Structure 1
Amino acid sequence: MAFAQLVSYSSSSSSLSPKPSLPPSVAAPAGCYPSSSSSKSLAPPPLRGRRRRSLDSVRCSASSFSERRHAGSPSSDDVVELPLFPLPLVLFPGAILPLQIFEFRYRIMMHTLLQTDLRFGVIYTDSVTGTANVGCVGEIVKHERLVDDRFFLICKGQERFRVTGIVRTKPYLVAQVTWLEDRPSPDGADDLESLAGEVEAYMKDVIRISNRLSGKPEKEVQDLRRNLFPTPFSFFVGSTFEGAPREQQALLELEDTATRLKREKETLRNTLNYLTAASAVKDVFPSP
């Protein structure tokens, strides 16, 4: 069971930004899908004067994020052209995404990326809500090209972006994007740390009760934050909400760390209440 199955928010709550201007024909590619080996780090229940910058200069890993922008990091004023990969999933900064590529147009994309830049935009799409206009850069950290020209990729989420215009749709989608980053929170750093601590505590309880329900031996859950600052930690938490991509998209689009952590805390609290009730029922009516 995943967090995602217990999310209390309605699917309509994921529309936190204007509807995207992407062509309605853009859909999840039939020739690419997450590798079957894909698993999240935690899987318990749950221009004006257009300025362009080479993507080579905008590397940024969630594992090294701080709460303030470092020199040389991408600015929200920058506009770049980015090849896009619409998928029925949400990639977060710092998350790992295994992919298999076999559709012809995306094999062309991979050949181009491997010769030029190793980054492309992963953007969520489904048949109900269409294609989002906020996504996350995926950087290829490992790849294998097979004899039939398919590719196995391991990608890592980098910075978020917002689509501002379409450059072309063939042979694959290329868009103009601007970088998206969290605004300074009105809450102080201490409040963010406190929020992150509360979210971590709920996660540990969810894992503990989930393990009990699944018959796994109970043991103390280790440090989940791994010295992450509140912002990258909030992305990590969102990446564990497997199976609820619309809720994940809503979290990805938020531009305030405190709001994201509060929403995650509420989701985890509801999940914990559900699991606690399920555990109590199991204790009263144990399986034969």
Structure 2
Amino acid sequence: MALPQILHSSSSSSSSIISHKSYLNPTNHYINHTTNNKFFIPPHHHRRRRKPPTSLHCSASSFSEKHHTNSPKSDDVVELPLFPLPLVLFPGAILPLQIFEFRYRIMMHTLLHTDLRFGVIYTDAATGTADVGCVGEVIKHERLVDDRFFLICKGQERFRVTKLVRTKPYLVAQVTWLEDRPSEKVDEDLDALANDVEIHMKDVIRLSNRLNGKPEKEVQDLRRNLFPTPFSFFVGSTFEGAPREQQALLELEDTAMRLKREKETLRNTLNYLSAASAVKDVFPSSS
């Protein structure tokens, strides 16, 4: 589904386009995907994040209420191998990877004999690597004849890098786990807020279908009984093409703040699409 434009919240000034592409990322790892109701947002000027659009496949069915059976405590400090990529992985999202760079083949050989978990962390050649990332757990893998690996990974816990342990043959860091804190507003209705975000998503999809000449059929249940926190991660994973915005959402430690930011982005997008639809009605040939 191709949406013509997604607009940022008030914290950003640029707009975006939706597209369905696969990209070769700067670290020479192909990221293959199938797009399903993704919102592609371009970079904006959030405090420090980056630029290249990349693709991450996820769907509501990829998300679960608990991402790992033995969730670590937030004050645990562990060592984690890191895989810098020009994308943002969210808890619960599915990430296919094809790996052929030598140092990451070494990492995969090690992981396949340990716990199959590594840190996916957003990076950009111009500005460096983020401090907050998400654990990717290998749930399926295939070793190809030339020693490349094809992986299917699932996002698990978020983490913050506290210390770099080594850089060769691949990055290993000490990390602490990141969890959402209780909302500062005790009367915050997270469930109602999540429902509002879902309504906005459905409206954006419905109106974009109209603009693209597609049947205006009823949009599927996007939330699928997810609790507010995993649903907020699902929504963030659909904002593709804007890794800086996604990184900002990933770093937030308040579910309500994340949902409010996503709601504002979707509302601005809906306003834009409404205006575009009105122009199309008046000037059909301009479409």
How many angstroms apart in 2 are the aligned matches of 1:75 and 1:147?
40
Give secondary structure in 2 for the equivalent of 1:287.
helix
Alpha carbons 2:82, 2:120 under 8 Å: kept: yes
- 1:40 is displaced (CA, Å) by 5.0
Q: 1:79 to 1:238 in 2, by over 3 A?
A: same
Q: CA deviation at 1:7?
A: 2.2
Dislocated runs of 4+, deviation >6 Å: none
Quote the Cα distance in structure 2 between the aligned partners of 1:244 and 1:217: 28
| TM-score in terms of structure 1 length | 0.82
Return closer, same or farther for 1:200/1:5 CA change in 2, 3 Å cut-off.
closer
Distance 2:136 2:266 in 1: 27
CA distance in 1, matches of 2:162, 2:107: 21
Provide the C-alpha distance between the structure 2 equivalents of 1:176 and 1:77, rounded to a whole number of angstroms: 12
Q: Shift in Å at residue 73 of structure 1? A: 2.4
**Residue 100 of structure 2 contacts residue 147 of structure 2 at CA under 8 Å; is this kept in 1?**
yes
Structure 2 length-normalised TM: 0.82
Tell me the equivalent position of 2:7.
6
| Closer, same or farther: CA 222–5 of 1 in aligned 2, 3 Å | closer
Aligned-residue Cα RMSD (Å) equals 2.4
Distance 1:105 1:229, change over 3 A: same
For 1:248 and 1:44, locate their aligned partners in 2 and report how far apart those are by CA, in whole Å: 11
Q: Deviation digits for residues 58-105 of structure 1, max 9, x if unmatched?
A: xxx950239xxx995211110110000000000000001111101000
1:100 alignment partner in structure 2: 98
Cα distance in 1, alignment partners of residues 133 and 95 from structure 2? 14
After superposition, the C-alpha distances for 1:119-160 in whole angstroms (9 at most, x for unaligned) are 100000113432100000001111111111111111110000
What is the rounded CA distance, in whole Å, between the counterparts of 2:275 and 2:113 in structure 1?
Answer: 54
Q: Deviations over 1:20-45 (max 9, x none)?
A: xxxxxxxx76232312xx13553257
Residues 6, 265 of structure 2: 8 Å contact kept = no
2:239 and 2:39 map into 1 onto residues whose CA distance is: 9
Unaligned runs of 5+ in 2: 15-24, 42-61
What residue identity is the alignment partner of 2:122? Y
SS for the counterpart of 1:39 is coil
Partner of 2:160: 162
2:248 paired residue number: 250
Mapping of residues 184-203 of structure 1, within 5 Å: 184-188=182-186, 191-203=189-201
2: CA distance between counterparts of 1:128 and 1:218? 42
Find the counterpart in structure 2 of residue 65 from structure 1.
66
* Pairing 1:80–2:78 present: yes
Cα pair 1:139 1:156 within 8 Å, conserved? yes
Q: Does 1:32 align with 2:39?
A: no
Tell me the distance in 2 between the aligned counterparts of 1:121 and 1:235.
17
Aligned in 2, Cα 1:41/1:182: closer, same or farther, shift over 3 Å? farther
What SS is found at the alignment partner of 1:203? helix
SS at structure 1 position matched to 2:64: helix
CA distance in 1, matches of 2:109, 2:227: 36
Change in Cα spacing, 1:213 to 1:242, as seen in structure 2 (3 Å) is same
Partners of 2:139 and 2:233 in 1: CA distance: 19
- 1:137 aligns with 135
Higher helix share: 1
Whether 1:271 and 2:275 are equivalent positions in the alignment is no
Question: Does the C-alpha gap of structure 1 residues 3 and 126 become closer, same or farther in structure 2, counting only changes over 3 Å?
Answer: farther
